[in-house]
Structure 1
Amino acid sequence: MIVRIFKSGTSNGEAPVNYLLSMKDHTGQPREVAPEVLEGHPATTIAVINGIQRKHRYVSGVLAFRDKEEPTRQQMHEVVDSFKKTVAPGLLDRQFNSLFVLHREKGNVEIHFVVPMIEFATGRGKRLNIHPPGERNLALYEAFTQVTNHRMGYGQVSPDPMRAAISVTDRKLPGSKGKRRSAHLLQQEIVQAVQAGHANNRNELVQWLDDALGVTVTRQGQDYLSVKMPGATKAMRLKGPLFEADTDYRSLAPPKSGKPGTVMLTVPEYQKALASLDTLVGERRAFNIKMYLSPRTFPRTQGAGSASAATLKPADFTRATTKEKTMPIKKTPHTERIVEDAMTTAKQADGEQVKKPVIASMEQATQRMKAMRDTGTTVTSPVPSTAMDTIHSIQAAIGALQQSINAAVADMANAKTPDEAKKAQQQLAALMEQMARLEQQLQEAKVRQINEAPSKKLKW
C-alpha cells in the first residue's frame, strides 16, 4: 500500500467528487467496476468545498494497494480510520469533512479521498491542511505507509534505485513534461551502462555521459547532478541513488527475488518506524490542539474596566472530546431513538417546532413489553423481519439530514457576520454528528438483514 497526494485542490467541489464517482477513468476509458462510496457524503463534500473562499480548497489523493494486496472490507475501513487519525490527530470526524471512494482499477484496490481544507471545531472556519509542506509531513506519510504495510503483512514500498527523478523546482517550471520525458530516456541509457559495467560510480558516470551521449554535467552536488541535454538551453537537476556522490552502483542491483516491494521490515526496523510515527503524530496533534481546540482569547474592550480578557472555550462550539470517547456511537442502544434525534435535529435546523414524545404510563409500558416478549418467544409462526423497515426509516432520516447539512453549509458560506458563521458551523457540526450515528446504525441494520432467517423457528 502506498499513499499518493495529487496536485489539484483549487477547483470547485464538483470537479474532484464527480471524477471519483464517474464511470470513466482519467484517460476517458470506461471503468470495469463502478466506484463505491466507502465513507462520507459526496453532496456534503461538494457543498463544503464550494463554501471555502480561499484559493486552495481541498486535498485529494489515493491509498493504493498493489498487485496481490487484497484487503477485506473491514481492513479497508480500518486503514481509512487509521489514516484520518494520522493526518488529523486530535480532531473528531465531525470536526472536519472527508470523502473516501473505492475504485477497483484492473483488479487493484484504490481508495481515493478528498478532504476539504476547513475545520469546524472552532466555529471560525480555520484552514485545515492534512498535507502541509515540509520534511516532517513527508516523514509522517512515509512512517504511516511503513507501519500499515507491516501490520497488514504487505511488503514495503521499495523505490527504484535506478530511477532518475527531476527536482521539485524543475517539475513546477514550464516544460516540465519534456524534462520528465528526457529524464526517463536518460535513465534507460544509464541503467544499461551500469549493468554493462561502463559506470561503477558517479565519477565514471559523469565521464560516460559526456563521451557516450554528449550530455554535459553542469553541477555536482552531494545528492544530485545537474545535466544539460544535447541541444537544450537549460540544465535540469536529477536526483536519486544513481546521482548521489557516495553511491556504489554495484549495491543498486535489484533484489534476488526480482520483485520490488517484497522486502519485509525486521522487528527493530518496525519498532523504529512505529516510534517515528508516534512522534510525528504527537507533533501534529499538539499543533491541532493549539490551533483548533485551545481557548480563544479576545482583547479587552473599552469600558471593560479591570475585567480580564474574555476567553472562549472549545466546549462553546462542540462537545468535549472526552465525552465523545466515553460515549462511542456504536453503543447507542436504540436505533429508533437515534432516528428520532436525527429527525429532530434536521427539523430544528429547518426552523420547525418539534414536540417531545409523550411518555407512556407504567401500565402501558408494561403491557407493551409483555406483548413484545410474547411475540418474540412465539415459535408457531416465523417472526417477521423488521430490518428492512429500520433501513427505510434510517435512509429517510439521512435524506432529511442531508438537506439540512447542505443548507447549513450554504449559510456558512453566505454568512455576513462572525456570529452568523459561528451559528452555521455549530449547526453543521451537530448535523454531521447525527449523520455519523445514522451511518453506523444503517450498517448494523444491513448486517441484521443479511443474518436474519425468518423462515426458521426459534430453538429452545
Structure 2
Amino acid sequence: MQSFENALLTPAMQGRYNILWIEHTDKGRLELNFIIPKMDLERKKSFNPYYHPIDNKRIDFWRDFVNLCYGFTNPKDPSKEQTLQGSKKEKELFKDYEALDKILHKQVANKIINSRDELIYFLEQNNIEVTRKGSDYLSIKLPESKKAKRFKGSIYNEQFRSFEKLRDLRTEKESRAREYKQRDIKSELERTKRELDKFIQSKDEYYRETIRKFNERLQG
C-alpha cells in the first residue's frame, strides 16, 4: 500500500492528501480498494490523483515491479492471455459470450470454419454483429447486448486464412510463452526499478513545481 501511494502520488504529496483503504476477503482472497478525495489538503485546492494519459505508464511499471518482486503472476504472460476481453462484472452476459467463444473454437476444431473470413460470415449468418476488426482481434456484439466484447486469439487474428496459418499463430504464441518464462528475472527487475524510479521522480518534480508556484503567488 505504501509502495503504491509512493508511485501514484510521490513523496512530494505525502501528508497533502487523504486516502481510505478498504480490505475485502469475502471472495476467499485479499482485495484492497482505495478512495482518494481530489483535494490537496495544504493548498485547499482540487488536484487529480490519477490522469490516465500521463500516469498510466508509471503505474504499469509499478505493477510489473511488484509482480517481479513477489513472484506474482503477470497478466502480460503470453500463456495467460484471455480469449475474451472485457469486464467479468456482467456475469450473465459474459457467460453468453464465453459460450459463443467455445462454439467458435469448436467449429474451427471441427474444420467447419476454416478462416477468419468464414468465422465472420458464420457470425453474420447468425445475426451476430462484428462491430470492429483489428489485426489480432474482433469486437463482437450479441443481439441482446448493449456493448460489444473484444475477442482475441489465433482464430480471431487476420492471419487466420488457413489451418497452416493457424498452426503458425499458435506456434508463435507458444514460443513467446517459452521466452517469457526463460527471461532473466533479475535483469528485468533492475530495469523495471530504474524505469519506475525515473517516472516517480518526474511526477515528484511536477508536484513540487506546482506547490512552489502556489506558494510564490501566496507570498506575492
TM-score for the superposition, normalised by structure 2? 0.66
Residue pair 1:164, 1:239 contacting (<8 A) in 2 also: yes
> Helix, strand or coil for the counterpart of 1:84?
helix
> Helix, strand or coil for the counterpart of 1:146?
helix
Q: For residue 99 of structure 2, what is the amino acid of its counterpart?
A: L
Greater per-residue helix proportion: 2
Residue pair 1:155, 1:263 contacting (<8 A) in 2 also: no
Residue pair 2:64, 2:74 contacting (<8 A) in 1 also: yes
Two-structure CA RMSD over aligned residues (Å):
4.1
Q: For residue 185 of structure 1, what is the amino acid of its counterpart?
A: A
Partner of 1:266: 184
> Helix, strand or coil for the counterpart of 1:91?
helix
Name the CA shift for 1:203/1:117 in 2 (closer, same or farther; >3 Å): same
Partner of 2:19: 98
Q: For residue 146 of structure 1, what is the amino acid of its counterpart?
A: D
Q: 1:193: Cα distance to partner?
A: 4.2
Matched, 1:124 2:44: yes
Partner of 1:222: 135
Q: 1:148: Cα distance to partner?
A: 0.6
Q: Structure 1: how far apart are the matches of 2:112 and 2:119?
A: 8
Q: Structure 2: how far apart are the matches of 1:197 and 1:282?
A: 55
Structure-to-structure mapping, 1:318-397, within 5 angstroms: none
Matched, 1:141 2:59: yes
Q: For residue 205 of structure 2, what is the amino acid of its counterpart?
A: A
Q: Structure 2: how far apart are the matches of 1:245 and 1:278?
A: 39
- The one of the two structures with greater contact order (alpha-carbon pairs below 8 A, sep at least 6) is 2
Residue pair 1:217, 1:225 contacting (<8 A) in 2 also: yes
Q: Structure 2: how far apart are the matches of 1:265 and 1:200?
A: 35
Residue pair 1:166, 1:179 contacting (<8 A) in 2 also: no
> Helix, strand or coil for the counterpart of 1:217?
strand
Q: 1:245: Cα distance to partner?
A: 3.4
Q: For residue 96 of structure 1, what is the amino acid of its counterpart?
A: Y
Matched, 1:286 2:200: no
Q: For residue 148 of structure 2, what is the amino acid of its counterpart?
A: M
Q: 1:274: Cα distance to partner?
A: 3.0
Pick aligned residue for 2:70 from 126, 133, 152: 152
Name the CA shift for 1:183/1:240 in 2 (closer, same or farther; >3 Å): same
Q: For residue 58 of structure 2, what is the amino acid of its counterpart?
A: L
Q: 1:83: Cα distance to partner?
A: 0.6
Q: 1:118: Cα distance to partner?
A: 1.2
Q: For residue 165 of structure 1, what is the amino acid of its counterpart?
A: Q
> Helix, strand or coil for the counterpart of 1:108?
coil
Name the CA shift for 1:98/1:293 in 2 (closer, same or farther; >3 Å): farther
Structure-to-structure mapping, 1:24-423, within 5 angstroms: 80-121=1-42, 123-129=43-49, 131-134=50-53, 136-157=54-75, 158=77, 160-165=80-85, 180=94, 182-193=96-107, 202-203=116-117, 205-210=119-124, 213=126, 215-229=128-142, 231=143, 236=148, 238-241=150-153, 243-246=156-159, 249-250=169-170, 251=172, 266-267=184-185, 268-298=187-217, 311=219
Q: 1:244: Cα distance to partner?
A: 4.6
Name the CA shift for 1:297/1:85 in 2 (closer, same or farther; >3 Å): same
Partner of 1:424: none
Task: Work out the number of aligned pairs and report it.
Answer: 204
Q: Structure 2: how far apart are the matches of 1:221 and 1:154?
A: 30
Name the CA shift for 1:291/1:264 in 2 (closer, same or farther; >3 Å): farther
Name the CA shift for 1:276/1:235 in 2 (closer, same or farther; >3 Å): same
Q: Which runs of 5+ in 2 are unaligned?
A: 161-165
> Helix, strand or coil for the counterpart of 1:156?
coil
Percent identity of paired positions between Structure 1 and Structure 2:
18
Partner of 1:38: none
> Helix, strand or coil for the counterpart of 2:101?
helix
Q: Which runs of 5+ in 1 are unaligned?
A: 1-79, 257-261, 299-309, 313-460
Q: 1:147: Cα distance to partner?
A: 0.7
TM-score for the superposition, normalised by structure 1? 0.36
Larger-gyration structure (1/2): 1
Name the CA shift for 1:218/1:266 in 2 (closer, same or farther; >3 Å): same
Q: Structure 1: how far apart are the matches of 2:56 and 2:74?
A: 16
